[in-house]
Amino acid sequence: MKISILAAGMLLCGSCLMAQQPKSPVELNGALQVEGNQMVGKGGLPPQLRGISLSWSLWQGKKYYNPEVVSWLVKDFHISLLRASMGVEPKGGYLANNEEQLRLMTIVIDKAISEGIYVLVDWHDHNAEKHLEESKAFFALMAQKYSGVPNVIYEIFNEPARQNWEMVKGYSVEVIKTIRQYDKKNIIVVGSPKWDQDVDVAAADPIRGFDNLVYSFHFYASDPNHQEKLRAKAEAAMKLGLPLFVTEWGVGESNGNGEFNLEKSNRWVEWMEGNRLSWVAWNVTDKNETTAIMLPGAPVAGGWSIEQLTESGKYLREKLSKLNK
């Protein structure tokens, strides 16, 4: 069979275009692991994943737990990481309605995997030690389903509110044991006291005997109480060898609302970049508050115009597009 010169050229050109397709974050970084005080990917380099957190899988944020939103965040915000924040205690959460919550989580986790990005499976609870058996049952299901899937990261305690490190550590060890029965290698994120701020306390007495553990560190960039002293706590923890992962931060204040201070937000972003920390910003919702990325009434299937984004949404879209490209 003869192929015309034009047709042959088109075939070659098509092959070139396929070869030039950018790799997904998971193709680039592969299975993550911990070396020293850093989470690393292929070649032992920090992947510095950056993304956005879905809101609580309840209330106004629930409607955005769909495949179209995940695809839009990948396409338009250029995220390399998604956080799926499963509400546990509130009405309609996992404790009262585990079937629906499992369905919502599975939808977005599976879509994130198909998009080639990483996904945090977040037990979004402030009192997880009171729900140890439920947490173990949930993570046993997740670990059996996603064992060996490099995209999946387990976040086992969103934000310990007033628990001391001894309590958080004891809870965490039990959940880690459960996950490791089924998934020996994927990253597990451990919480720390006082809303994931006392990472220096955890660093003084870290969990031992397990591989690939990192510790969550949270802050709200414009909060007057979340500035140099808080950065110093994180820096002290890293110096002690604790690997950190910023699994939640926001441009506003710690209540999710308040001021959006551009200078302070930029300072925090520069700090994360300088320390090669992976991060997730809060949050995908159209609630009328500072840290919401959309204005009230934004479409439930993504496709948001610039005019439908809040100042937070515009800021994060610009940062993510610039840093992740």
Query: Cis omega before residue 212 (within 30°)?
Result: no
**In b/e form, how buried is each residue of 216-251, taking b as 16+ CB within 10 angstroms?**
bbbbbbbbeebeeebbebbeebbeeebbbbbbbbbb
Of the pLDDT bands very low, low, confident and very high (cuts 50, 70, 90), residue 277 is very high
| pLDDT > 50? residue 140 | yes
Quick one: which of 227, 298, 284 has its CA closest to 256? 284
| Catalytic positions, written as ranges | 159, 248
We find that the CATH architecture of domain 29-324 is Alpha-Beta Barrel (3.20)
Question: What is the tens place of the pLDDT at every residue in 75-108?
Answer: 999 999 999 999 999 999 999 999 999 999 999 9
| 312 φ/ψ angles, rounded to the nearest 5 degrees | -65, -45
Q: How far apart are the first and last CA of the chain?
A: 43
Of the pLDDT bands very low, low, confident and very high (cuts 50, 70, 90), residue 235 is very high
Residues forming beta bridges with residue 85, ordered by sequence position: 122
Quick one: which of 99, 107, 153, 159 has its CA closest to 128? 159
The mean pLDDT of 115-122, rounded to a whole number, is 98
pLDDT of residue 22: 82
Sorted by where each begins, the domain ranges of the chain are: 29-324
Question: What is the tens place of the pLDDT at every residue in 3-50?
Answer: 444 444 444 454 454 456 789 999 999 999 999 999 999 989 999 999
Q: Which amino acid is at 259?
A: E
| pLDDT > 60? residue 144 | yes
Of the pLDDT bands very low, low, confident and very high (cuts 50, 70, 90), residue 325 is confident
Structure tokens at 213: 């553990």
Of the pLDDT bands very low, low, confident and very high (cuts 50, 70, 90), residue 221 is very high
The mean pLDDT of 112-130, rounded to a whole number, is 97
